Chain A
Amino acid sequence: MTTSADAGGRRAAETHRQRTRFGHTELPEEQERALRRAVRLAWLTIGFLLTAVVLLYLVMGSSQAMKAAWAEDLLSFIPPLAFLVALHLTRKPPSPDHPYGHHRSIGVGHLVAGTSLVFMGTFLVWDSASGLLKQEHPPIGLIEIGGQQLWSGWLMIAALAYTIVPPVLLGRAKMPLAEQLHDRVLHADADMNKADWMTAAGGIVGILGVGLGLWWADAAAALFISGSILHDGVTNVRTAVTALMDARARTVDGSEVHPLVGRVDEELRALPWVQEAGSRVRDEGHVFHVEAFVVPVAGIPPELAQLREAREAVCALDWKVQDVVVVPTEQLPGDLLPGVGARRDEQPTDGHDAG
């Protein structure tokens, strides 16, 4: 059994201290650029949310929809903050106490963010649904700004309109970065940002409805907004739990098995001394840990150098493949590789690479 972090690699890494790393993984230049951009965008998001939360709070009044939209903006702080905190932690190299590094902090941050969305979403769904059932008529009166009297509904609409465009732009900018960095928190954040304009638009429709004398429009809009918060929460908790449960590594949006999983086995099978290969790949958050089992041809034990080459070949597949263990065995261990025989090469192995 050998591990990938050989002494030579370590020394090389030490001479490149300025390079950004995830644990002991050095980031390629492209990912490093993406990371710097993602951090900037996270701070930009926090800055925008600060203005949005203050603005919505000032004009909220007694509208349910405004309350829900405000709560959503407040909750939107969690993903970028979780991203920044997790990033800080993943940069720590592995230590004797944390031999696998700190990559799991991504999963923990993701789960915390998702859980808070579920709780807040549930509360708001209940709140607005009961408002609808109790037939609460929201009073929206006048407001005086600089001697001008204005229906405060217009002010609410203006504040909501302000929150329509920036999140969409932020979300669109973050999405490709999340894929490049294989960062689930960033992906969840981008996904929420991209859908955020709908809650603002829903709120505007609700306030306009109240203006037209439809008392239920406000609570209905609030229900729509809180439903979207709850939906975000459930999606995020599901993805985060899957990752923390050491499920087979998936693409960053969780939609399909990560193509690297199939490529690892293929790379090993392609070696001349390997007859059969099977591996377990888990997503630690950003990086993958691989345990590969290889059956040598005719049962002849491989040379140590051959094992090292095998390991290096797998590591070279992608920067994400960080921690590789190659174990020669007599036959593939069925109890460690469930569904072995069934061969896991149904995944696409060409072209697409999220890394």
Chain B
Amino acid sequence: MRTLRAVVGPALACVLAATAGGCALLPDQFPADPAGTLTRVEGGFLRVGVVPNPPWTELPEGADADPLQPTGVEVDLLTGFAATVDAEVVWAAGSEERLVGDLEAGRLDVVIGGFTGRTPWSAQAAVTRPYASVPDEAGAEELHVVLAPMGENAFLVALERYLLQQEVAG
């Protein structure tokens, strides 16, 4: 095992030096998306799953209502984000489980629905930094987040950067 260490050590040092040297020539996208979500969204379509949860997300009701025209605080937020990356939003409505499943499978780019930092979906979706802190019915502060695909870090960082710039009050 000593010999193993003797080999692994210098090898790691080389990789480290190489990466340190490479840092100067970082790719334009850093962190990058393994599946290229941000690149695909830019100038294209942002697919957003909406779980109805007023006032964060509301689906229109009534006979002539169009389920593809949701409203709410988070709907406005995502519309704004789409504008910054020059994308057109495609809305999809459904249950949490279904939409998070679609997010995991790469069929959606974001899921919104008044999620908080304590969401149980954190193993299935990347939870963004909270964009607002709002007291719930019991008066406890709730940190509101939206869900992004796992490990699509360029997209996650772009989304978080936008969300952190917004002033949102519940």
- A interface, CB within 8 angstroms of B: 62, 136-144, 149, 151, 153, 195, 198, 201-202, 204-205, 208, 210-215, 231, 235
Contact = CB atoms under 8 A, between A and B. Distances in A.
Nearest to A195: B5
Contact of B157 (A151, A195, A215): A151
Contact of B160 (A141, A202, A213, A231): A141
A274 B137 CA distance: 93
Interface-central residue, B12, B29, B128, B156, by most chain A CB under 10 Å: B12
Contacts of B24: none
Nearest to B29: A213
A211 B29 CA distance: 9
Given A141-B160, A195-B5, A215-B34, A210 B153 contact: yes
Nearest to A234: B1
B157 A142 contact: yes
A171 B9 CA distance: 15
Contacts of B27: 212
B166 interface: no
Query: Which 10 residue pairs are nearest across A and B when measured between Cβ atoms?
Result: A137-B151, A139-B126, A213-B32, A142-B160, A211-B31, A137-B150, A215-B34, A141-B156, A201-B12, A215-B151
A213 B33 contact: yes
Interface string B119-161: 0001000111100000000000000000011111110110011
A141 B163 CA distance: 12
B32 A211 contact: yes
Mostly, the A contact residues are mixed
A211 B16 contact: no
A242 to B, nearest CB: 16
Given A141-B126, A213-B32, A213-B33, A198 B153 contact: no
A231 B161 CA distance: 42
Contacts of B148: 139
Interface residues of B, number: 33
Contact of A139 (B9, B13, B153): B153
Nearest to B154: A213
B25 to A, nearest CB: 12
Contacts of B122: 62
A142 B13 contact: no
A144 B32 contact: no
Given A137-B151, A140-B31, 17 more contacts: A139-B148, A139-B151, A141-B153, A141-B156, A142-B157, A142-B164, A143-B129, A151-B30, A198-B9, A198-B12, A202-B12, A205-B16, A210-B151, A211-B153, A212-B30, A212-B31, A213-B31
Contact of A205 (B19, B127, B152): B19
B31 A210 contact: yes
Nearest to B151: A137
A208 B161 CA distance: 20
Nearest to A142: B160
B168 interface: no
A141 B157 contact: yes
Nearest to A253: B2
A235 B164 CA distance: 49
Contacts of B149: 137
A136 B34 CA distance: 12
A204 B129 contact: no
Given A195-B5, A205-B16, A210-B153, A137 B30 contact: no
A149 B1 contact: no
B8 interface: yes
A52 B33 CA distance: 30
Nearest to B31: A211
A247 B16 CA distance: 42
Nearest to A137: B151
11 contacts: A137-B149, A137-B150, A141-B129, A141-B160, A142-B161, A143-B129, A151-B153, A210-B151, A210-B153, A211-B153, A215-B34
Interface-central residue, A201, A202, A211, by most chain B CB under 10 Å: A211
B132 to A, nearest CB: 14
B15 interface: yes
Nearest to B32: A213
B34 A213 contact: yes
A143 B161 CA distance: 9
Contacts of B9: 198
Contacts of B160: 141-142, 149
Interface-central residue, B16, B30, B154, B156, by most chain A CB under 10 Å: B16
